[in-house]
Amino acid sequence: MAKQLFYLPWWFARARFFGSRRPLQTVLFISDKCNLTCKHCNVYNLANPNIKTTEQIIEELKYSYAQGSRFVDFEGGEPMLWRDGEHNINHLIHIAKEIGFFSTTVTTNAQMPFADCEADSIWVSLDGIGEFHEYIRGEGTFARLEKNVAECGHPDVSFNMVINAKNYTNVRDTIEYAKNNPAIRAISLNFHTPYEGTEYLFLEWDKRIKVIDEIIEMKRAGYPIINSISGLKLMKHNKFSKQCWVSNFIMADGTRLPECPGSIAGVCDQCGFGMAGEMHSVFTLRPDTIMAGMKLRM
Ligand SMILES: C[S@@+](CC[C@H](N)C(=O)[O-])C[C@H]1O[C@@H](n2cnc3c(N)ncnc32)[C@H](O)[C@@H]1O
Ligand code: SF4
């Protein structure tokens, strides 16, 4: 904690006032093998999945740490599927901590039990209640998610929802469900980013604005919504300078990118990742966003 208290203001001051462009967080894809084929996703690779070795991941963690990163999110594909001999995701989490990362997170579809996952925080992807979730993720996925969440026993589990043209009417119920679920700390809200082949799920701007107003209203009423109000307001139009270099990305094929791959795909104008607005609000010193970030990270 003491290290974080020193490092975060130092990192911020260098970035904000001296133009430093060093990442603070790493999104590390450890494989693109998955047990689902979600309609909105352009990551999974059924035919010929890349599955990294422990050595490759250690090298990527050390590289990211040397770049300045101190938070790592293990991503996939499905990270809970990852194995290298006797090693599973916990081995990678321990190594990241030994290298010096302040915290580790894992994003999972919760189709497998994750009670033994030792990440500091866990994101469970939930795209609506029941049929809304299953439209995107397939039959049986909601019941498995509910069971594995209820049995996980982890103290820091939050939902990550991606709002799209099919599930936007279910946002209120999903936030309500997160609030009433004793295993869940909070919910993060994002919008579908229209990577090639998934454009039909993009939510039109007028509907997006209405959904954001509804989310802001629920946040003000005390619902456990991670996004800050400043960050949410920016997502209404997406017309702000992006600070996507705050996260470096290491893709499943080993490609190292200094920022979100959305810029290469040309989807930044339609980006739905809540983090984009949050980072801009931090950079423009919005107090509510800084508080939300501190709460999430510390
Ligand atoms: C690629 S998945 C990998 C982790 C894990 N398999 C899962 O589904 O949670 C990471 C997150 O990206 C989200 N995602 C996938 N495609 C997206 C898109 N086109 N726009 C926004 N988020 C997307 C997923 O819903 C999930 O929350
Ligand atoms: S579970 Fe995650 S990685 Fe797999 S297809 Fe769905 S969103 Fe993509």
Domain total of the chain: 1
CA distance 18 to 114: 42
Residue 153 lies in a domain: yes
Report how far ligand 1's centroid is from the alpha carbon of 45 (Å): 13
The predicted-structure confidence for 231-258, as pLDDT tens digits, reads as follows 899 999 988 877 888 899 999 999 999 9
Indicate if the pLDDT at residue 154 is higher than 90: yes
Distance 140 CA to ligand 2 centre (A): 15
Distance, CA of 161 to CA of 159 (rounded, Å): 6
Domain membership of residue 150 (yes or no) is: yes
What the block records as the tokens of 42 is 């352009």
Q: Which of 120, 106, 83, 98 is nearest to 27 (CA)?
A: 106
Quick one: which atom of ligand 2 is closest to the CA of 109? Answer: 1
Q: What is the pLDDT, as a whole number, of residue 19?
A: 85
* CATH number of the CATH domain containing 279: 3.20.20.70
Rg, C-alpha atoms of the chain: 18
Measured distance CA(70)–CA(5) in Å, rounded: 12
Is the pTM for the entire model greater than 0.85? yes
In a domain, 14, yes or no: no
Q: Summarize pLDDT for 159-215 with one digit per residue, the tens.
A: 999 999 999 999 999 999 999 999 999 999 999 999 999 999 999 999 999 999 999
By the 10 Å C-beta count (0-12 exposed, 13-18 middle, 19+ buried), 83 is classed as middle
Residue 55's H or E segment, with its range, is: helix 54-67
Q: How far apart (Å, rounded) are the C-alpha atoms in residues 142 and 150?
A: 12
Specify if 1 maps to a domain. Answer: no
Question: Residues with Cβ within 6 A of ligand 2?
Answer: 34, 36-38, 41, 43-44, 76-78, 109
- Is there a domain that residue 47 lies in? yes
Is the residue at 119 inside a domain?
yes
Residue 11 lies in a domain: no
Q: In the 8-state DSSP scheme, what is residue 68?
A: T
Q: Which atom of ligand 1 is nearest to the CA of 43?
A: 1
Please identify, by atom number, the ligand 2 atom nearest to the C-alpha of residue 77: 3
- Nearest ligand (C-alpha, residue 108): 1
Would strands 25-29 and 247-250 be described as parallel, antiparallel, or unpaired? parallel
In a domain, 95, yes or no: yes
> 41: CA distance to ligand 1 center in Å?
6
Q: Which residue is closest in CA terms to ligand 2's atom 6?
A: 38
Cβ < 6 Å from ligand 1: which residues? 34, 40-41, 43, 75-76, 78, 107-109, 125, 160, 162, 190, 192-193, 195, 198, 272
Domain that holds residue 176: 23-297
The pLDDT assigned to 297 comes to 62
